[in-house]
């Protein structure tokens, strides 16, 4: 620092000055003192300006750091909020998927039961049709076996066999 150097020179000049006996006064070289004072007048404003610039720069850097810290804090809050939202959405989607899956299972089970009932019903109808057809075939066979007696067969009505009796044979 130049100011410190000038103050040191001023102090040295005072130390090197001659004392007036029996007083607190010194005899100093006026030109040298004014020269140092002039240099101080020039240097001090420059140093003050420099100090003010440094102080302004410090405040600017601190404000910038504070701004950056606030921006980072906001980003962190946003990310945390997004993570929470994503978790909520994921959880809701999982619950919805589980619900749909359970509903699909119930619907599939219901369809299977309905299909089984339909198949049983159709098989029962088929069985009844087959039993009737079998009865017709048996009556036809019986009629043909008895066929030697044509006249007798015409007078006698054809006997229809009960489907339950045919099924038990």
Domain locations along the chain: 2-168
What share of the chain has pLDDT > 90, as a percent?
34
Mean pLDDT of the chain: 84
CA torsion 18→19→25→26, rounded to 10°? 10
Location of structure tokens 């130049």: 2
What share of the chain has pLDDT > 70, as a percent?
86
Residue 151: the pLDDT is 47
Q: Inform me whether the pLDDT recorded for 153 exceeds 50.
A: no
Query: Which of 157, 151, 158 has the alpha carbon at shortest distance from 135?
Result: 158
Q: Inform me whether the pLDDT recorded for 158 exceeds 60.
A: no
Residue 65: the pLDDT is 93
């Amino acid at each position: 620092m130049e100011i410190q150097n000038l103050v040191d020179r001023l102090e040295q000049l005072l130390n090197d000055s001659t004392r007036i006996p029996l007083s607190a006064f010194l005899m100093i070289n006026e030109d040298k003192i004014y020269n140092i004072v002039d240099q101080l007048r020039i240097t001090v404003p420059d140093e003050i300006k420099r100090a003010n610039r440094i102080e302004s720069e410090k405040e600017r850097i601190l404000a910038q750091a504070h701004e950056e810290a606030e921006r980072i804090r906001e980003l962190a809050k946003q990310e945390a909020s997004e993570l929470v939202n994503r978790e909520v959405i994921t959880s809701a989607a999982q619950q919805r998927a589980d619900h749909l899956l359970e509903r699909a299972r119930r619907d599939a089970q219901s369809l299977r039961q309905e299909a089984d009932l339909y198949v049983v019903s159709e098989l029962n109808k088929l069985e009844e049709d087959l039993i009737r057809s079998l009865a017709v075939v048996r009556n036809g066979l019986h009629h043909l076996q008895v066929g030697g007696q044509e006249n007798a067969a015409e007078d006698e009505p054809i006997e229809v066999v009960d489907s339950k009796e045919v099924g038990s044979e």
